[in-house]
């Protein structure tokens, strides 16, 4: 051992860094490989192909009178479709300039002002707000009221009071013609 001690010290640094390089690169390849192997086990939890396939709904608007609302199911969630009265549209437009929690104009939330189409899920913790039926409470702003934690939405579905952070979500939708709409 003592004979080779001097050569060891000369080449020692190189040997050591070569070893380190092998260690680090082996560990790196192992870590990347493990991460790739883990991904399918995480991604399997995401929506499956058949769940994604059910992602659009067509609705006939013919039978909805002015001042009436209907609830349709889209992706397992309720979608509120409201045929708004002129007073509701006026109130919504007037409040565009009010002190809003999540500022949005009424025009940006509708394609046709008389049709308000939005996901009927409270943006706080996912309850269904009341206000679709005439017998239900509409909250302080004449729109919808979530009974779970007391969020008040206005006639444009904007959050005005309570713990919810966002306005009721607007899904993507297209009018196929004057009386039917495709959601999703």
Partner 1 sequence: MSKQFKNPVLNWIEYRLPIFSFIDDSVGSGYPTPKNLNYWWNFGSLAGFVLVIMIASGIVLAMHYTAHVDYAFNSIERIMRDVNYGWLIRYIHMNGGSMFFIVVYIHLLRGMYYGSYKAPRELLWIIGVFILLAMMATAFMGYVLPWGQMSFWGATVITNLFSAIPIVGDSIVTLLWGGFSVDNPTLNRFFSLHYLMPFVIVGLVVVHLWALHEHKSNNPLGVDIKGEQDLIPFHPYFTSKDLYGMAVFMMFFMFFVFFAPNFFGEPDNYIPANPLATPPHIVPEWYFLPYYAILRAFTKDFFLYWPVAWLITAKLAGVIAMFSSILLLLLLPWLDGSKVRSSKFRPYYAMAFWVFVIDCLVLGYVGGKPAEGTFIVIGQIATAYYFAHLVIIIPLVSRLERPKPIPESISAAVTAAHAKQAGE
Among 82, 124, 138, 158, binds partner 1 (CB under 8 A): 124
If we measure between CA atoms, which residue out of 77, 76, 71, 50 comes closest to residue 59? Answer: 71
Least CB distance to partner 1 at residue 125 (A): 4
Q: Which of 83, 124, 149, 169 is catalytic?
A: 149
Token pair for residue 80?
């509120």
By CB under 8 A, the residues from 28 to 87 that bind partner 1 are: 42, 45-48, 51, 55, 71, 73, 75-78
Would you count residue 100 as binding partner 1 (CB under 8 A)?
no
Task: Give the total of residues touching partner 1 (CB under 8 A).
Answer: 25
* Annotated catalytic residue 149: yes
3-state secondary structure of 80: strand
Classify the C-alpha dihedral 100-105-110-114 as positive or negative.
positive
H helices within the chain, ranges in order? 5-43, 49-53, 86-94, 106-109
Would you count residue 97 as binding partner 1 (CB under 8 A)?
no
Contact between residue 38 and residue 58 where contact means Cβ atoms under 8 Å apart: no
Least CB distance to partner 1 at residue 135 (A): 13
Choice between 91 and 120, CB closer to partner 1: 120
> How far, in Å, CA of 2 to CA of 71, rounded?
88
Among 149, 174, 179, 180, binds partner 1 (CB under 8 A): 149
Query: Where does this chain touch partner 1 (CB under 8 A) — which range of 13-21, 83-91, 118-126, 172-180?
Result: 118-126
Query: Judging by DSSP bridges, how do beta strands 159-161 and 151-154 pair with one another?
Result: antiparallel
Choice between 116 and 159, CB closer to partner 1: 159
Helices (H) and strands (E) in the chain, counts: 4, 9
Binding site for partner 1 (CB under 8 A): 42, 45-48, 51, 55, 71, 73, 75-78, 124-128, 147-150, 163-165
């Amino acid at each position: 051992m003592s004979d080779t001690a001097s050569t060891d010290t000369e080449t020692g640094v190189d040997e050591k860094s070569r070893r380190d390089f092998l260690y680090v690169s082996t560990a790196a390849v192992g870590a990347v490989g493990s991460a790739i192997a883990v991904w399918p086990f995480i991604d399997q939890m995401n929506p499956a192909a058949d769940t994604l396939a059910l992602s659009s709904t067509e609705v006939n608007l013919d039978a909805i009178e002015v001042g009436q609302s209907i609830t349709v199911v889209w992706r397992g969630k309720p979608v509120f479709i409201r045929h708004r009265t002129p007073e509701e549209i006026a109130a919504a437009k007037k409040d565009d300039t009010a002190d809003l929690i999540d500022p949005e104009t009424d025009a940006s939330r509708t394609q046709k002002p008389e049709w308000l189409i939005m996901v009927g899920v409270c943006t706080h913790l996912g309850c269904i707000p009341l206000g679709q039926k005439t017998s239900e409470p509409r909250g302080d702003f004449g729109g919808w009221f979530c009974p779970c934690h007391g969020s008040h939405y206005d006639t444009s579905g904007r959050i005005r009071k309570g713990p919810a952070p966002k306005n009721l979500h607007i899904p993507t939708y297209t009018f196929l013609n004057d009386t039917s709409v495709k959601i999703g």
